[in-house]
Amino acid sequence: MNPKHVDFVPSKQANKKMSRRDFVHSSSAALISSSVLAGGALGCVGVANASTNVVEASLEGRIYKTLKIGMVKVSGSLTEKFAAAKEAGFAGIEMNSPGMDVAATRLAIKESGLPVDGTVCSTHWNKTHTSADKKVRAEALKDLQTAIRDTHAVGGNTALLVVGHGKDGPESEIWPRAIENISKALPLCAELGVYIAIENVWNRFLYDHDGDHLQTADKFVKFVDDLNSPWVGMQFDIGNHRKYGSMGDWIRALGKRVVKLDLKGYSRAKNNWVKEIGTGDIDWADVRKALLEINYYGWAAAEVGGGDLARLKQISANMDRVFGLSGK
């Protein structure tokens, strides 16, 4: 089956909006303590390749490592879990909301010195913004607003969101439903300074689930731009759509719409995700190049099977390798 493409010409409003989104990454960087930033200058370290005139560079000083709280399989208090993530080399951690204990999370941040950079909306798979049921959409909006408020309360600046599911109806119906519902949360985003970070996932929406490996990010671009807000971007998952397209090209197409990254590996040969970040067949050199091309500075969240401190250190080291980081 041929991939479906969307022809999209940005409006003057969209162009204006994109210029306003340019400060997203500096906002993300503000969450990092000065001690973390001291590890390297904000810039790339690279060597020019004379044969291709391409700079093969690391993302040192540009990428701030984080992970999902559910990956931390360390016994003890929330503070002890945060401390383990910090010891493993992570600069932040993502929580789940609704359901987060804000007071306990604030205490863990204070006692461990590890910030919360954002949250994942914990109910977005079963309460979708694309549902044909108005009551379900109202609940989805309420939960998203809770995630935004909780994120702000603990000092984060992104609320990851899966916007809906193709099972809820044809694209011509679920697209406007999602836009209308999510738009109702944007005033709160602006008030609190929290971004809705849309994740590209296998939800049969904004791509052709039965299509080939030559698909583009065009529909994700158009969906973000239809929301027409500087408070909406992509938490682009490097790996989730490797089956359908080139991760480097998707990053280039999304450009400044990328406000955060998720990270996993994928093997098209095995038709599945892989355990270790860096294995599989993602072209990480091209991913690094693409991130430099869009001038990305910000968080990258591991999203793989977690474990004890040793496992967390392994994940952190894998992230260092694929991004060309020193691990300091």
State the pTM of this model.
0.84
| Banded model confidence at residue 5, pLDDT cuts 50, 70, 90 | very low
Q: Per-residue pLDDT for 40 more than 60? A: no
What's the pLDDT tens digit per position in 84-95?
Answer: 999 999 999 999
Q: Per-residue pLDDT for 35 more than 70? A: no
Residue 202 within any structural domain of the chain: yes
Residue 6 within any structural domain of the chain: no
286-300 in b/e burial notation, b at 16+ Cβ within 10 A?
A: ebbbbbbeeebbbbb
What's the pLDDT tens digit per position in 163-201?
Answer: 999 999 999 999 999 999 999 999 999 999 999 999 999
Q: Per-residue pLDDT for 66 more than 80? A: yes
What's the pLDDT tens digit per position in 213-242?
Answer: 999 999 999 999 999 999 999 999 999 999
What's the pLDDT tens digit per position in 46-59?
Answer: 433 333 333 367 89
> What is the rounded (10 degree) CA torsion for 282, 121, 233, 153?
-120
Residue 5 within any structural domain of the chain: no
Distance CA 219, CA 223 (A): 6
Distance CA 13, CA 20 (A): 11
Residue 2 within any structural domain of the chain: no
Kindly report the average pLDDT of the chain as a whole number.
87
What's the pLDDT tens digit per position in 93-113?
Answer: 999 999 999 999 999 999 999
Residue 328 within any structural domain of the chain: no
Distance CA 245, CA 207 (A): 10
Residue 282 within any structural domain of the chain: yes
* First-to-final CA distance of the chain: 46
88 closest CA partner among 313, 324, 315, 327: 313
At 74, which CATH number?
A: 3.20.20.150
pLDDT of residue 50: 34
Residue 4 within any structural domain of the chain: no
37 Cβ partners below 8 Å, 6+ apart?
29, 61
Counted domains in the chain = 1
> Is the torsion defined by CA of 229, 121, 198, 81 positive or negative?
positive
Residue 205 within any structural domain of the chain: yes
Residue-number span of the structural domain to which 208 is assigned: 12-323
